[in-house]
């Protein structure tokens, strides 16, 4: 009779957009290193899998990638809508994942015993029930945004409106989110609720309490009251972050020499600018940011998605070549851990926030969509580790103000002290001897592979 570990087959279902799939795969790498006899099948679109460093799969012999159809019609002609591909994928994804999983079972000769999914993929609950398998979804954002999605139905009962007066109402009945207003909630909760993405994440919020366990890229002490609230709603909640400290991180080549350039700068003198892999601020905001950097003579590294020569003011790159560098891609975590970085201008995606905490770097926030406004509220109001740009829009004078305050003002000193405390609590959480995240990760490995 085979040992239990030799009969386990774990299906890993990625959400193939944004930065969701790589952190999920990093988690799986950590689990496989402890469970060499368990086989894993990794499911995502061909495009997404092709964009993942092939060496990862070569170094993980018990992980096999499988393509999931992207849901696009055979005669598909793009309309130009930025979310169109995502919408097609979402509509078709339950059946497309199911077909690929059936292929994996047939090829590998083992039934699926555990389904690990991105938490967006709500249908994991139904599949797990049908297969008599465990379902372990991974939430890639923060506990506060997770709570809003779990209580979406309650929020819709409380706020059945969408006018200006309604948008200014606070969520005072939720003690842990009393500082949040309706207008700060992610899209899809009270607005645009019929969009495919909104329907998907609403279903996720309804299904997550059925999961064997919900794992999250956070740690127990960061928002303790909210974490406790979530624990009361789920069978098990496992804070396993920051993932930047608890999972293997991809090696990102520093082709532009960012770290070498930082080595030449003074301690806490440089602002790092990065708005993630999805969004780019509108042209007038890019221009205002560039003007503020140049006129204020701020030292900077700017990770710029797009064509900097065409999209930034004419001559900006040449005039500021002694002052900063603009690069198409940057080793963000390594940069944030460098002693020369004084502030991080960010869109406030949760992964970037966790990396900023790991680096002990205060933030300047320009949120765009999703949970980013909610994150900004927490960073600025609850933790005191960030400054938000006024009215959520980049202007030249506003950027000069927040940069001066962050880099050399009393506000900057307070933020650095506060985020230093958050960093210390993160390090304590991942301590292998007694850290909560370290223990939770061991529990996760046991749940997935036992």
- Residue 69 bears catalytic tag: no
CA dihedral of residues 198, 203, 208, 212 (deg, nearest 10): -130
- Residue 431 bears catalytic tag: no
* Token pair belonging to 402: 């927040």
Indicate the SS3 state at residue 157: helix
* Token pair belonging to 240: 């396993």
Nearest to 221 by CA among 421, 4, 9: 421
Q: What is the CA radius of gyration of the chain?
A: 22
Cβ 274 vs Cβ 352: under 8 Å? yes
Q: Could you give phi then psi for residue 178, rounded to 5 degrees? A: -65, -20
**Alpha-helical segments (H) within 124-209:** 124-131, 143-150, 152-158, 164-167, 196-207
CA 349, CA 365: separation in Å to the nearest integer? 10
Helix, strand, coil share of the chain (percent; to 5): 50, 15, 40
Residue 413 makes CB contacts below 8 A (sequence gap 6+) with none
Other Cβ atoms less than 10 A from the Cβ of 80: the count is 5
Cβ 230 vs Cβ 150: under 8 Å? yes
Give the active site residue among 9, 70, 118, 144. Answer: 118
> Distances from the Cα of 217 to the Cαs of 41, 131, 428, in angstroms?
22, 27, 15
Give the active site residue among 20, 149, 202, 338. Answer: 20
What residues are annotated to the active site?
A: 20, 118
């Amino acid at each position: 009779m085979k040992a239990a570990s030799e009969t386990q087959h774990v299906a890993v279902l990625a959400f193939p957009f944004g930065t969701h799939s790589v952190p999920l795969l990093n988690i799986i790498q950590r689990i496989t290193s402890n469970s060499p006899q368990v086989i894993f099948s990794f499911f995502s679109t061909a495009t997404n899998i092709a964009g993942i460093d092939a060496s990862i799969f070569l170094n993980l012999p018990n992980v096999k990638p499988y393509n999931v159809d992207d849901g696009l019609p055979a005669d598909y002609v793009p309309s130009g809508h930025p979310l169109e591909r995502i919408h097609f994928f979402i509509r078709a994804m339950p059946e497309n994942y199911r077909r690929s999983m059936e292929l994996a079972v047939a090829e590998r000769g083992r039934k699926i015993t555990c389904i690990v999914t991105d938490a967006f993929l709500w249908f994991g609950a139904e599949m797990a029930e049908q297969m008599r398998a465990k379902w372990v979804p991974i939430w890639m954002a923060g506990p506060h945004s997770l709570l809003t999605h779990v209580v979406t139905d309650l929020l819709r009962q409380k706020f059945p409106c969408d006018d200006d007066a309604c948008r200014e109402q606070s969520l005072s009945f939720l003690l842990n989110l009393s500082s949040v207003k309706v207008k700060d909630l992610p899209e899809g909760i009270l607005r645009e609720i019929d969009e495919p993405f909104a329907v998907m994440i609403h279903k996720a919020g309804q299904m997550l309490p059925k999961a064997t366990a919900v794992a999250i890229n956070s740690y127990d002490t960061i928002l303790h009251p909210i974490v406790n609230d979530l624990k009361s709603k789920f069978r098990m909640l496992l804070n396993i972050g920051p993932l930047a400290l608890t999972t293997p991180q991809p090696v990102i080549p520093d082709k532009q020499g960012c770290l070498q350039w930082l080595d030449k700068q003074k301690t806490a003198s440089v602002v790092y600018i990065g708005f993630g892999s999805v969004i780019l601020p509108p042209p007038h905001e890019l221009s205002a940011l560039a003007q503020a950097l140049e006129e204020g003579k701020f030292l900077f590294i700017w990770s710029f998605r797009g064509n900097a020569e065409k999209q930034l003011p004419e001559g900006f790159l040449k005039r500021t070549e002694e002052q900063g560098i603009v690069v198409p891609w940057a080793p963000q975590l390594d940069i944030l851990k460098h002693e020369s970085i004084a502030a991080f201008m960010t869109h406030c995606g949760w992964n970037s926030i966790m990396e900023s905490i790991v680096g002990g770097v205060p933030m300047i926030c320009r949120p765009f969509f999703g949970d980013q406004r909610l994150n900004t509220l927490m960073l600025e109001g609850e933790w005191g580790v960030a400054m938000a740009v006024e009215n959520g829009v980049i202007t030249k004078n506003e950027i000069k103000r927040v940069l001066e305050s962050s880099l050399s003002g009393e506000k900057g000193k307070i933020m650095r002290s506060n985020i230093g405390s958050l960093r210390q609590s993160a390090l304590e959480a991942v301590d292998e001897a007694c850290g909560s995240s370290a223990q939770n990760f061991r529990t996760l490995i046991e749940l997935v592979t036992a």
